[in-house]
Structure 1
Amino acid sequence: MLQISEIVRKTEEMFDLFNEHFYEGELSRPAITVSPDGGRGAYGWCSINEIWNASGEKYREITLCAEYLDRPIFELAATLLHEMAHLYNLVHGIQDVSNNGYYHNQKFKATAEAHGLHIEKHAKYGWTVTTLAPETEAWIRKTLGEDKINASRLPVEGTTKGGSKKSINRSIKYVCPCCGTIIRATREVNVICGDCGEPFEQE
């Protein structure tokens, strides 16, 4: 029987375990929720603001995407630790992303790699390609085993796996290779990014 409450409980237990091991218990547990992707194309995200109120206490939120819960436990752990790194930076006033939260900078990489992760650079989204450091994977294997969550949300009919609607898009997408900013045009254009001075590249 599917019990969403059991899935949330497991992710809360994982947060508490990771918090103690990698952050020495420094982080307050946020609201941890399971939600459809909604077209974001992300495995998870952390709210910038404290958006939950419980008995006068304010909390941020870490959301794990429901469509991707049944990945191997090591991948789910990497996603949760990724969002915990964002949470740590938010608490400490460290600006670790730009371009509306999509481009991850060196500050994110530094925090994430100090807390159990290995980060590589994505051409468009910066330092965001996340895997477990070898010693972290070994510790999780010893501590949690390899049992994964055997449930995930099916995409709605007529949408992609990430939740976005299938449609014919006649616009041309351009991306700044430096900061990842995206623009669209109905014809071919030659545009320079005002922030980086780099020409946008057609995708």
Structure 2
Amino acid sequence: MTRVTERAYHELQEAYDFYNKRLFNGELPDCLITFQRGKNTMGYFSYQRFVTSDGSNSMIDEIALNPEYFPVYPLIEVMQTLVHEQCHMWQFHFGKPSRKTYHNEEWAGKMESIGLIPSSSGEPGGARTGQTVNDYPQPGGQFQLATLELFRGRFALSWFDRYPVSVSGQKDLSAIVSSWRETLTSALQSDEAGTDIEAVLSMALLPSVTLSDEEAQDDAGTSSAPVFLEKPKRSKTKYRCPECDSAVWGKPGLNIGCTDCGKPFEEC
């Protein structure tokens, strides 16, 4: 019997290996893929973050994905985050990365070469480079077509955080789904095999349901929809400098900065 941990991490490894082969010609080295929660981030790449305990001092990279985003974003956007971080990994091993968390021209060029367009806004017209850069798929590009192939194999992530992030202030889920419906339609114009777009979307989404604890208890075992709850409020928040990685704890909503770097701290 496959254990839960084995299944959950096998799925992440399957997606990593698939995109490595389809988009990076199998050039990316092995890495440790993890689930990590972080404030305002769907994922991150960390170069040589882990070291072995056998005395050899062998080091390995980390790619982390935030499971709090899984219930409220299409799975294809989670895969987009994975590939975004794989591009960072490619640059650390085969290119010249800039200072920490900065997205430079070389990284942007690699993203575009595999069908993801860098944009600070996540939409056409945004800046290609900078400290915070999102991306959107090129219609009919390599990333889109590869993802369609992955989903035809019934790929899925089995486990989701029960306390998802709030999407207030962002595009609502219907807008995200509508955008992906349009972009998948564009991709299929050059796809001879054909794909049921609605089937892909339904497979890549979970119904996001927010219930109180009492409602969740009443509905336990009676509903096929996953039960998602509001995250308990924290009394303290961790703040981190985006430049030097210094960190402090304090009450939520503090307006503080790093005196060494002159950068405002970010909640994490």
Q: TM-score, normalization: structure 2? A: 0.53
Out of 146, 149, 158, which is 1:142 matched to? 149
Question: 1:60 is paired with a residue of what secondary structure?
Answer: strand
Q: Hey, what does 1:106 align to over in structure 2?
A: 105
Structure 1 residue 81 and structure 2 residue 83: aligned?
A: yes
CA distance in 1: counterparts of 2:109 and 2:17, whole angstroms: 22
CA distance in 1: counterparts of 2:120 and 2:49, whole angstroms: 29
Q: Hey, what does 1:64 align to over in structure 2?
A: 65
CA distance in 1: counterparts of 2:78 and 2:252, whole angstroms: 32
Conserved? CA contact 1:117–1:131, under 8 Å: yes
Structure 1 residue 153 and structure 2 residue 235: aligned?
A: no
Conserved? CA contact 1:36–1:163, under 8 Å: no
Conserved? CA contact 2:31–2:61, under 8 Å: yes
Could you say which structure has the higher helix fraction?
A: 2
Query: Which range moves more in the overlay, 120-129 or 60-69?
Result: 120-129
Query: Which range moves more in the overlay, 129-138 or 119-128?
Result: 119-128
Q: Hey, what does 1:92 align to over in structure 2?
A: 94
Give the counterpart letter for 1:117 in structure 2. L
Conserved? CA contact 1:43–1:68, under 8 Å: yes
How many angstroms does 1:113 deviate by? 1.4
How many angstroms does 1:167 deviate by? 4.2
Structure 1 alignment gaps of length 5 or more:
174-180, 185-203
CA distances 1:97-153 after superposition (whole Å, capped 9, x unpaired): x4x41x322222111112231211347955621223323223312332375425322
CA distance in 2: counterparts of 1:170 and 1:42, whole angstroms: 19
Residues 76 and 27 (structure 1 numbering): CA distance in 2 closer, same or farther, change over 3 Å?
A: same
Could you say which structure has the higher strand fraction?
A: 1
CA distance in 2: counterparts of 1:142 and 1:108, whole angstroms: 25
Structure 2 alignment gaps of length 5 or more:
164-230, 240-248, 258-262
Q: Hey, what does 1:132 align to over in structure 2?
A: 137
Structure 1 residue 182 and structure 2 residue 264: aligned?
A: yes
User: Which has the greater radius of gyration?
Assistant: 2
Conserved? CA contact 1:36–1:66, under 8 Å: yes
Question: 2:106 is paired with a residue of what secondary structure?
Answer: helix
Residues 171 and 48 (structure 1 numbering): CA distance in 2 closer, same or farther, change over 3 Å?
A: same
Give the counterpart letter for 1:169 in structure 2. G
CA distance in 2: counterparts of 1:172 and 1:54, whole angstroms: 38
CA distance in 1: counterparts of 2:7 and 2:252, whole angstroms: 39
Q: Hey, what does 1:201 align to over in structure 2?
A: none
Conserved? CA contact 1:109–1:127, under 8 Å: no
Q: TM-score, normalization: structure 1? A: 0.68
**Pairwise CA RMSD of aligned residues?**
3.6
How many angstroms does 1:157 deviate by? 1.3
Residues 106 and 121 (structure 1 numbering): CA distance in 2 closer, same or farther, change over 3 Å?
A: farther
How many angstroms does 1:171 deviate by? 3.2
Question: 2:47 is paired with a residue of what secondary structure?
Answer: coil
Residues 110 and 5 (structure 1 numbering): CA distance in 2 closer, same or farther, change over 3 Å?
A: same
Q: Which has the higher contact order (CA 8 A, sep 6+)?
A: 1
Give the counterpart letter for 2:145 in structure 1. A
Question: 1:69 is paired with a residue of what secondary structure?
Answer: helix
- Equivalent pairs, count: 172
